Amino acid sequence: MNERLKPKIRKPNNLLSESKKVSVSVISVFLLFIFVNTFFYPIFYSDDSSSIRRNLVDSRENLDFPGKSRKTKVYMYDLPTNFTCGIIEEHRIARGGGEKSDDVTRLKYPGHQHMHEWYLFSDLTRPEIERVGSPVVRILDPNEADLFYVSAFSSLCLIVNSGRPGNSGSCYSDEEMQESLVGWLERQEWWRRNNGRDHVIVAGDPNSLKRVMDRVKNAVLLVTDFGRLRVDQGSLVKDVIIPCSHRVDVYEGELGVKERNNLLFFMGNRYRKDGGRVRDLIFKLLENEGDVVIKHGTESRENRRAVKQGMHTSKFCLHLDGATPACRLFDSIASLCVPVIVSDSIELPFEDVIDYRKFCIFLRSDAALKPGFVVKKLRKVKTKKILKYQKAMKEVKSVTCPVFSTFPLVD
């Protein structure tokens, strides 16, 4: 389509070695593997009997991942618990969850949009018998490792104290955790060997590790977007774009538009970061359209219910510059609401595997800001075409939308 975006490729200052490029590709496949498992094989990760697990092993052995014959060896650091499960405890205490726990490793990881760190940590700590089909294997000898995984919960630590009063009982500091983590890494032989270039770090939330990003920028970063990274920090050659977890319930109704009376839906901040100006102008253009629902709203349980209702009853869902694009996108996919993405440059997860043109409509900002352009274009989309989009979303959501309720947290 004419409006299809051509993402701007960020090139690093120095070219990476071929082995590093292969490693980045393997990481992408590994992440894809985890999200497939989360949706297709939830029972495999449950506490059901070993006989059920053995039956599932046979089917998982048939999974055909690139590079399957040569698995990448990953060494996961045994980090101090204050960088992993101890953060879960701090999150609980900040919300009135009681005293310190005797065993923080058994605390539940709280659900939020940037749970990538938990999915990876949980997967790599499982017995290998439960990881059949994975393109990576966890090894215990760092001398054998191709990659080193730093399993810090950098996104969760950002929200430990968010929205909590100063007397909540938590003295936790995200910035202190960042400094302490990098200080710990810089004392490790394997980090010092090449300044972290063969290390993998999850920075799912756009503000994750912001204070220390210059000290970890050589590592392979797993990020949801490059919006807050400089070109010398993040690169599509070096790093991997990962999807957010959806927060809206999966739509369980029939395909089609019978129950979708709204043409277009959007709910979010009207003014947001660098995309605020475009957002405000689009609000003004669309807020008086009769079959368009466009509202200002911030994160809350009540607004999340409103978003679910809006997405489940709309044909199209709008996505605007100014926030992490991947988060709202996967809510739309879970809702089978066709995404309409307004952006002049965007990077989306697993673009080498997923063809987003099959279920998304891409518009440039200058086109979207023409009076009447957006609604006129969308009203021309026939029901048959919407059904085609929905079928494509239903196929791809098993990869991009890990369901919280089917992936067990730590008991």
* 264: β partners: 292, 316
Q: Tell me: do 78 and 152 sit in the same domain.
A: yes
Asked which of 173, 207, 242 is the last residue of a domain, the reply is 242
* pLDDT (0 to 100) of residue 221: 94
Q: Tell me: do 87 and 165 sit in the same domain.
A: yes
Range of the domain at 288: 262-400
* pLDDT (0 to 100) of residue 115: 84
Q: Tell me: do 139 and 272 sit in the same domain.
A: no
* pLDDT (0 to 100) of residue 80: 94
* pLDDT (0 to 100) of residue 61: 42
The residue written with tokens 């993405």 in the block is 341
* pLDDT (0 to 100) of residue 10: 47
Query: Residues of the chain whose pLDDT is less than 50?
Result: 1-16, 36-68, 401-411
CATH number (domain holding residue 379): 3.40.50.2000
pLDDT tens by residue, 313-359? 999 999 987 555 567 888 899 899 999 999 888 888 888 888 999 99
Q: Tell me: do 233 and 267 sit in the same domain.
A: no
The per-residue DSSP string of 152-210 comes to: --TTGGGGSSTT--TTSS----HHHHHHHHHHHHTTSHHHHHHTTTTEEEE--STTTTG
Q: Tell me: do 266 and 329 sit in the same domain.
A: yes
Asked which of 242, 271, 299 is the last residue of a domain, the reply is 242
pLDDT tens by residue, 117-153? 998 999 999 888 888 888 889 999 999 999 999 999 9
Q: Tell me: do 130 and 279 sit in the same domain.
A: no
Q: Tell me: do 200 and 273 sit in the same domain.
A: no
pTM of the model: 0.76
Structural domain contains residue 289: yes
Q: Tell me: do 326 and 214 sit in the same domain.
A: no
* pLDDT (0 to 100) of residue 135: 86
Structural domain contains residue 406: no
* pLDDT (0 to 100) of residue 147: 95
* 362: β partners: 341
Structurally, the chain folds into a number of domains equal to 2
Q: Tell me: do 387 and 320 sit in the same domain.
A: yes
